[in-house]
Amino acid sequence: MAAPHLKHTFANIHALRGGKPELGDLALSDYHLVFRFPPESLTAADPSLKKSVKQVWFAFHIISQCTLRPTPPSSGVPSSIRIRFRDFTYVSFNFAGDKEAREAFEFIKSRTCKLGSVDKLLAFSYRPPPNSPESKINGWDLYDVRAEFRRQGISEKSRELGWRISTINKDYSFSPTYPALLIVPSKISDATLKYAASYRSRQRIPTLTYRHPVNNCTISRCSQPLPGISFKRNIQDESLVSACFSASTEFAGGTSLDMPVESPPPSTADLMIESENTDGSMSDIQKAEDELTVGGTILYDGKTGKRLIYGAQQQNLIVDARPVINSYAMQAIGYGTENMEHYKFAKKEYLNIDNIHVMRESLEKVISAIKDADVSPFPPNKELLAKSKWLKHISGILSGSALIAQRVGIQHSNVLIHCSDGWDRTSQLSALSQLMLDPYYRTLEGFIVLVEKDWLSFGHMFHLRSGHLSHEDWFTVDGDALAGTAVKPGENDGRADHFENAIAGAKRFWSKKTASGKEAVTDADGTPIETGVEPAVAENMATRPKDISPVFHQFLDATYQLLRQHPTRFEFNERFLRRLYYHVYSCQYGTFLFNNERQRHEARLQERTRSVWAYFLSRRSEFTNEQYDATVDDHVRGRERILFPRCDDVRWWHQLFNRTDDEMNGDLNALAATAERVAAYQQASSSSELSRPVDAGTIDVNSNPPSSGAPSRTSVSPTRSPLPPGLAATAAGGSVHAGVESAHEVLTPGTRSPAPPNRNVAAGDPTGTFAALQERISGLSLGKAMFGGGTGGSTGRSSIGGSGSDSGRNSQNELAEQEMKSMS
């Protein structure tokens, strides 16, 4: 980047990070804070120091909290500015005098929360150096919606495949937050789409986002329906959803599920078993699939002795990402969820993923645990990290995405996903499930296409969720410093609310009317400080703190978990995800500006700004995973097309939080190591039991009488070993599935039995040798021991009328209000 046009320079400033001070010069430009060290005063006295001069650039737009700590000269304590950045960098700058600190504070504030419009952000003035590799790449051309769906086998000439490209939204008048081109079933006309649109929130109708290349099954997405308290229905919507589920089946020849079906290749073997890791982990499903793909085992049902027929148990699925009670509470204000009496061709699952407000509060607790990273070298507050339940939320999102991938990739079923408006949780689930299903999306270009398709074009509100124009509440004055106290680890940045009133009064005292009638900000001596004209912000572009939420952050975090667990399956590395996170907030590129495709088109971003993808593609070597193996072979373990997360192996993304693995994950890693040793010992001690004959190639992992109320589980693998007592138990909160089915029930149509009313029960022998360790080991599921519940989102609340904590704390009206606040 070219040298900035400096507006203010402050010499001999101490920067404090990690408790370590560094003397340098601080320069402020229109878009950046630049710290240069050693300072010019030292390099002038000793020219040899010039070789060691370094510069650190901080973009103003990634500031999430800036606190001024003014002190009187008599205190002997320097005035300072503490800044927390969106990338979890924490820095304090100590100034020699109060006037300099206040001047820097006001200048930074004027270049962030007082810009007034999006086109004053850095993206509209940034240009890469001429003739640089980045300047030669047009990142805007990378994603072509027609080319992507052509890759999936869908184009204008392929209506016979069951899908067509509709231009009903070409001018964005049909659904302003949807992309211009929509992929819909061939047999559904645009006229039907118009009638169906009135039944979906913001006219976000069911439309295709992914078609599996092997079995032609699909993932579609939409927003919530609008039945309201009168339980309205819409025949056109029902027809559209039905068509989404039947389009690929009709293309395949309309095979009846009652007719004999040939087995597809082993790589797409259809199987569902209940995971013993009831935190939502798909590791057992993965093991079973591996045993099928590698060994080619012929499976028989343990109860009937019949051979299991692949694909015969197809069951299409409507996924509602919200907690059940929240979905039904929305009916009171005209929204709601599908009445399955009118969608009998599918089953519905609630994933119990909390809304944007819960996720924002969770991240705020994480920030509280690490907020002293500027003044302290000490590790994060482990208690606050646990209370945040951040890993529990990440695990729940992964578990729900794995359910979708399992249905599409293994059970050969079609899935429709929605939450409330279909642009937050829906985008998370849709993108992550495709990442698990399709190796293309695990390449650098493929991941870029995935973000463009399921996040940008489908209208995730990056501007609203990110707060690109900042907010005045993020700039505070800390009053304790006026008494001369120094900042200490553990104290609040903004202090108590009552002090804000005092600051407001001080601000009025320091503000004087200018000749034009506008207020001019002054320092403590009454000297006016020039902050520029404060323009009005368009209401639809103004930052609303309560609408900010780490939705895309969670998607990147979940992707990091997959990358960490499957290090050879991704072309890109961890640093790519970290830099992508940074540029969501840096506003250096136009890619993530505005809330939807229509707004970006109207702002002519492709003409006026650069795309962030040019930055990454021009530096490919920096973001390439050295362990990447591009080979896809479903007959070789570790190279299969589909992959699943281990939801009991979720860890803190410590690099993003600028911490070491030991600081963030030390306790989790130690518990995992202990569990492995316990499992190995118990497996060895039970070898004599495993050696006894079994019938029809099956092993009943509940051969000992289970605890009262424990659901029966049957493994279809002849090589399966029982888990240690306690690890096979149902963790508090359960998985994200609203009703988990056994292998026999799923693989034998017509014999399904209802799920037990209460799945929060323990299995195994509580009096075993390692019973004393069971409670600690159960913490590996990120449940009650460490994170206050199961890992599968807000689990344990998936059944209607349950006694979950939501129903105990909130009335239906309160829940509806919370969900409404997450819809804009």
More confident of the two residues 637 and 770: 637
The response to whether 424 counts as a known ligand-binding position is yes
- If DSSP codes are grouped into helix, strand and coil, which group holds residue 59? strand
More confident of the two residues 287 and 813: 813
Nearest to 547 by CA among 582, 598, 595: 595
The response to whether 423 counts as a known ligand-binding position is yes
Highest mean pLDDT among 112-121, 713-722, 801-810: 112-121
Q: How confident is the model at residue 290 (pLDDT cuts 50, 70, 90)?
A: very low
Domain 6-40+51-114, CATH number (from 2.40.50.140, 3.90.1150.10, 2.40.110.10, 2.30.29.30): 2.30.29.30
Taking residues 722-736, what's their average pLDDT? 37
Contact assessment for residue 98 and residue 79, using Cβ atoms and an 8 Å cutoff: yes
Domain boundaries, the chain: 6-40+51-114, 145-251+311-467+547-622
Each residue's pLDDT tens digit, 359-392:
999 999 999 999 887 778 888 999 999 999 999 9
Each residue's pLDDT tens digit, 568-577:
999 999 999 9
More confident of the two residues 704 and 78: 78
Contact assessment for residue 493 and residue 82, using Cβ atoms and an 8 Å cutoff: yes
Burial 292-313, CB ≥16 within 10 A → b, else e: bbeeebebbbbeeeeebbbbbb
The response to whether 421 counts as a known ligand-binding position is yes
- pLDDT recorded at residue 490: 55
- pLDDT recorded at residue 498: 41
Least reliable range by pLDDT among 354-363, 640-649, 670-679: 670-679
Each residue's pLDDT tens digit, 291-344:
433 333 344 455 565 554 445 557 899 999 999 999 999 999 999 999 999 999
The response to whether 420 counts as a known ligand-binding position is yes
* CA dist 656 → 357, 577, 652, 659, 681 (Å): 22, 9, 9, 8, 36
- pLDDT recorded at residue 818: 60
Residue 357 φ then ψ, to 5°: -70, -40
The response to whether 735 counts as a known ligand-binding position is no
- pLDDT recorded at residue 126: 96
The response to whether 41 counts as a known ligand-binding position is no
Each residue's pLDDT tens digit, 500-529:
444 444 444 444 444 344 444 433 334 343
- pLDDT recorded at residue 638: 84
- pLDDT recorded at residue 63: 96
pLDDT over 70 at 764, yes or no = no
- pLDDT recorded at residue 228: 95
Reported pTM: 0.75
Contact assessment for residue 565 and residue 649, using Cβ atoms and an 8 Å cutoff: yes
Q: How confident is the model at residue 687 (pLDDT cuts 50, 70, 90)?
A: low
The response to whether 355 counts as a known ligand-binding position is yes
Pairing outcome for strands 317-320 and 347-350: parallel
Could you list the active site residues?
A: 419
pLDDT over 90 at 222, yes or no = yes
| Size (the chain), residues | 824
Least reliable range by pLDDT among 327-331, 468-472, 700-704: 700-704
3-state secondary structure 465-502: HHCCCCCHHHEEECHHHHHCCCCCCCCCCCCCHHHHHH
Q: How confident is the model at residue 693 (pLDDT cuts 50, 70, 90)?
A: low
